[in-house]
Structure 1
Amino acid sequence: MKNVIDIRSSGRPDIFDRANTDGLFGRTRRLQQPLEKYLRGTETPRYLAYNDQSGVVAARGDNESLTPADNYRAFLLATTVRALFVVGDDSGDRTVSLPYEDIVAVDCTSGFRTTTLEITTVDEDRWVFECKGNLTTMTRFVDEATQIWTRTLTELDRAESQVEAAAAALEETSFGTAATHITAAQEALDNGRERIETLGEGATTTIEDRLQSVQTRIDTCQRRRHVRAAEEHRDTARHAWEIRAYERAADAYAQARSEYDRALAVTAPEPATEAITDARDAVEAEYAELLSAPVDAAQVAASAARATADPAKRASHWEDALDRYRTAYELDWGRDRRFDGDRASLRQALADIAVELVDAHREAGRQALRETGDESKREPSGTACEDAVAHFERAREVATELVPDRREPPADELAAVSGQGASVEAEPSGR
């Protein structure tokens, strides 16, 4: 067997499957256990080197140098995960495992007939392995694998740090900041995964649990961000609805629904899918109710006006109905209509209400004039007359804007006001 073997090109030697090897005088035991016994899970061996006598030297630190017993050998195995020393001995094989993330330096020096590989760890331990073969290629692989693992773990640390920052931003409802941190976390995780994949499937599988754990944390944070944003939009919609800012409410509900949909598109254990679905359905129900709310409110105001006998109060209800119908009519102007009620029907309702409003104000004005002559009324006649004038002027104002053919008040109305000392002049014709 060669002293240094590139396993990818030469295949696995017999020492992986059996502890003894064929020699000039028959089989010789080199290890107590085949090398395969020392591999973990999907760990993949790449290079193998051995020596017969020098073993593994602990050049620094409190570690003990390992020397093979007679006929046994010392092996250095470079896998996709670590550098592994296995030294044969009658009392049992002795091993030293150096994960690549614990290695800080790898050096190779050449002598007259041998090459020496030296590995230094984060604890400042130094392990020296001498071999008659050329260890240069093996050293290069160990060095590259060390850098890959170090950078991979650094990226995973960065990803976890970004997730924590995103979670903190969500607590402060800083959704934009949270999104930035989540994006950075995903980028770091992807970088780490890409790096470790260059060592092959075995290396990736070894660290898969942590990769998946970080991905789950990112996805959970992302889902939580969408849910929190949806809740904020829903609160905005409800507040806008309360102040009759219907279009703003509709836009906010649409944004809330989109955020819930985005949350459901992210696979994560939290927040629970059922809770998100229920919240989205509730938003859909509120949105549907909102679309009919402007017309419903206008109809309620109109019904209240029709049910009111007192002309002044009836006029007040018709004012409210006119305002609400006008709001419903003007919604979504210039774009596809979302709200209930077509504009033609609403326009006709506005015209009908305007007539009712003009009539109600004029009737209220006439009633106020009658009250000026009733000495039993507590209200001074001057105030009643002012009320009459206000009703008549409002009637003329509405008629001028919405019912031009009813703009001029009846002659008896003008005479009645004039008779009470109030000056209410008819507008010039054509105005």
Structure 2
Amino acid sequence: MLASQDENAISDEELLTGTGSGGVFASGYLHDKPLIEYLGAAERVAFLLSNKKKGVRRENDEGATAYTPGDGYQAIAAITDTRVLFVVGDSNGTGDTSFAVPYTEIEDVKTRSGMLTKGVDIWTTEGVKWHFAVRSTVDIEPAVEYLERAAVVWSRVESQLRHARKHLVDVDELLSEDDHDAARAAASTARDHVEEAQRKAPELTTNRDDAVWERVHDVERRLDASVMEIHVSRAEKHATVANDEWRQEQYNNAYDAFLKARTEYERALDIAREHDFPEESDIRENADTVTQSLDHLSKSPLRRAETAAERARDADAPAVVAEQFEVALERYQTALVLDWGSDRQRFAGDSNELRGTIERVVGELVHTRRLLAAYHLAAGTRLLAAGHPDAAKDAYENAHTEIEDARTVAKELKPQLTPMLEASADTLARCIEAADDPVDDGFEFVGDMADGDPRTRQLSND
């Protein structure tokens, strides 16, 4: 900091903290309160200039006004990290008067010198010129040089931050429209402007606690909050897609979408932790929910298959049993192939165990289909004996359909059952032919339909 450098100069510390008037041989301070109380809590002083008579002069197109200190008081120009603050002690006998000129409003800075005094002139973007004088013995060049740099750097930094803030507004609007790609692009552009501001700020100061850096940090924090919201919004969208895919039994798609959701939540959580954002708790909870969903999803295909198999075994009606075994078989097959081509296992179920289970289910399904075929065969035989060949043919065809359905499954998954089923299909084909050309004296059918239940019928007109 810099204060007057003549033999009657007072220290910077006194200028910051002193109040009260001076006397014949002592300089005074301010009237109402010490200078330090006019400063912001985090405001940092770079230079201090003072005078006892000239005060500060304000000029514009409408005229000029001089604000001079009261008798025994001083006028102080505090050149801080964010502005020039003029405070005039007991100006015109009415107490202290203060004026602030932010660096963002400074357009030009010049010095002028006289025999007894020298001064600094500050022009603002609003067309106001401020003039502050000091004794000619005071070296004001360092303060003026700082002012010039501060005005330029603050102007450039604020320009970049203004552009950044504009793009952050765009981010909010785009997020409300679920346009994540455009929101990310806007955030990226905002980041470019913030980084440019970060490159400009050291031209004034490398102290990250100074106001210009605080201004950059504020926008950077807001930018990080926006990026965090983008991650959260993308996570929510991926989670929605995952649940939709899960409902449609597209398990791998669902798993991939949940992984994407968790990744986005983790990125958002990193940002929330870094800045201690209040959203941290909610984000962590959502990330945990996705992790739980992944665990449930990994077990879902096998559980659904087991549930269908249990329903089949608990059902009483053979048709329902067959239907549920078909469902179970499809689900077990799905569980078997889900991890094919994957580097690691994501879904529950050992491949060898699943293959064994599939064979057992195929056996149970084939057995059930043969039972149904036997029932239809028995019905057809009774109908044919009662003189209803058309109805008998329908029953035989139903039996044949059951056998064909069983043979289709067995051929792919348990081919050792195929010869038996083909023999049954041939037998039923002959029954259908017999129904097309019934004999009058009687019909005898011998067919091996269900395990342990050979259907042997003697049909007659009696």
TM-score tier, shorter chain, comes to 0.7 to 0.9
1:389 and 2:407 aligned? no
Shift of 1:294: 1.1
Alignment counterpart, residue 106 of structure 2, candidates 98, 103, 118:
103
Q: Secondary structure at the match of 1:97?
A: strand
Structure 1 gap ranges (5+): 20-25, 424-431
Alignment of 1:12-51 (within 5 A): 14-17=10-13, 28-33=25-30, 37-39=34-36, 40=39, 41=41, 43-47=43-47
Greater alpha carbon shift after TM alignment, 182-191 vs 226-235: 182-191
Greater alpha carbon shift after TM alignment, 381-390 vs 197-206: 197-206
Separation (CA, whole Å) in 1 of partners of 2:307 and 2:239: 26
Letter in 1 for 2:65: E
Aligned to 1:163: 168
- Coordinate RMSD, CA, aligned: 4.2
Cα contact 2:180–2:234 (8 A) shared by 1: yes
1:144 and 2:149 aligned? yes
1:287 and 2:284 aligned? no
Cα contact 1:42–1:202 (8 A) shared by 2: no
CA pair 293-422 structure 1, distance change in 2 beyond 3 A: farther
Cα contact 1:148–1:195 (8 A) shared by 2: yes
Separation (CA, whole Å) in 2 of partners of 1:49 and 1:126: 17
Greater alpha carbon shift after TM alignment, 385-394 vs 265-274: 265-274
Letter in 1 for 2:371: E
Q: Secondary structure at the match of 2:162?
A: helix
Instruction: Deviation per CA, 1:255-299: give whole Å up to 9, x if none.
Output: 223333333321367664443343333333332222221111112
Alignment counterpart, residue 124 of structure 2, candidates 112, 121, 125:
121
Shift of 1:327: 0.5
TM-score by length of structure 2 reads 0.73
Instruction: Deviation per CA, 1:338-359: give whole Å up to 9, x if none.
Output: 1111000001112222223333
Letter in 2 for 1:418: R
Letter in 1 for 2:412: E
Separation (CA, whole Å) in 1 of partners of 2:369 and 2:402: 5
Aligned to 2:307: 300
1:232 and 2:237 aligned? yes
Instruction: Deviation per CA, 1:376-404: give whole Å up to 9, x if none.
Output: 89983333233223222233322222222
1:241 and 2:246 aligned? yes
Letter in 1 for 2:405: R
Separation (CA, whole Å) in 2 of partners of 1:49 and 1:299: 86
Separation (CA, whole Å) in 2 of partners of 1:321 and 1:272: 44
Aligned to 1:405: 416
Separation (CA, whole Å) in 1 of partners of 2:213 and 2:420: 86
Alignment of 1:187-226 (within 5 A): 187-189=192-194, 191-192=196-197, 195-196=200-201, 199-200=204-205, 204-206=209-211, 214-226=219-231
Instruction: Deviation per CA, 1:206-249: give whole Å up to 9, x if none.
Output: 46876665455444433333333222222212111111111111
CA pair 85-391 structure 1, distance change in 2 beyond 3 A: closer
CA pair 273-108 structure 1, distance change in 2 beyond 3 A: closer
Separation (CA, whole Å) in 2 of partners of 1:317 and 1:96: 85
Cα contact 2:404–2:425 (8 A) shared by 1: no
Separation (CA, whole Å) in 2 of partners of 1:18 and 1:90: 23
Separation (CA, whole Å) in 2 of partners of 1:203 and 1:403: 74
Greater alpha carbon shift after TM alignment, 287-296 vs 37-46: 37-46
TM-score by length of structure 1 reads 0.77
Cα contact 2:82–2:103 (8 A) shared by 1: yes
Cα contact 1:196–1:203 (8 A) shared by 2: no
Alignment counterpart, residue 350 of structure 1, candidates 343, 351, 358:
358
Q: Secondary structure at the match of 1:120?
A: strand
Separation (CA, whole Å) in 2 of partners of 1:161 and 1:28: 56
Alignment counterpart, residue 254 of structure 1, candidates 251, 259, 270:
259
Shift of 1:321: 1.8
Alignment counterpart, residue 429 of structure 2, candidates 411, 417, 431:
417
Letter in 2 for 1:315: A
Shift of 1:124: 0.6
CA pair 93-254 structure 1, distance change in 2 beyond 3 A: closer
1:173 and 2:178 aligned? yes
CA pair 17-28 structure 1, distance change in 2 beyond 3 A: farther
Alignment of 1:289-328 (within 5 A): 289-328=296-335
Structure 2 gap ranges (5+): 16-22, 436-462
Instruction: Deviation per CA, 1:367-426: give whole Å up to 9, x if none.
Output: 323322333899833332332232222333222222222211364652343132189xxx
Greater alpha carbon shift after TM alignment, 327-336 vs 194-203: 194-203
Cα contact 2:163–2:193 (8 A) shared by 1: yes
Separation (CA, whole Å) in 2 of partners of 1:296 and 1:273: 34
Alignment counterpart, residue 341 of structure 1, candidates 336, 343, 349:
349
CA pair 224-31 structure 1, distance change in 2 beyond 3 A: same
Alignment of 1:263-278 (within 5 A): 263-265=268-270, 266-267=272-273, 272-278=279-285
Percent of matched pairs sharing the same residue? 27
Aligned to 2:445: none
Letter in 2 for 1:103: I
Q: Matched residue pairs, number?
A: 412
Q: Secondary structure at the match of 1:14?
A: coil
Shift of 1:70: 8.9
Letter in 2 for 1:414: D
Alignment of 1:45-124 (within 5 A): 45-47=45-47, 56-60=56-60, 61-66=62-67, 77-85=78-86, 91=93, 96-108=99-111, 117-124=120-127
CA pair 308-52 structure 1, distance change in 2 beyond 3 A: closer
Shift of 1:333: 0.6
Alignment counterpart, residue 380 of structure 2, candidates 367, 372, 379:
372
Separation (CA, whole Å) in 1 of partners of 2:204 and 2:75: 25
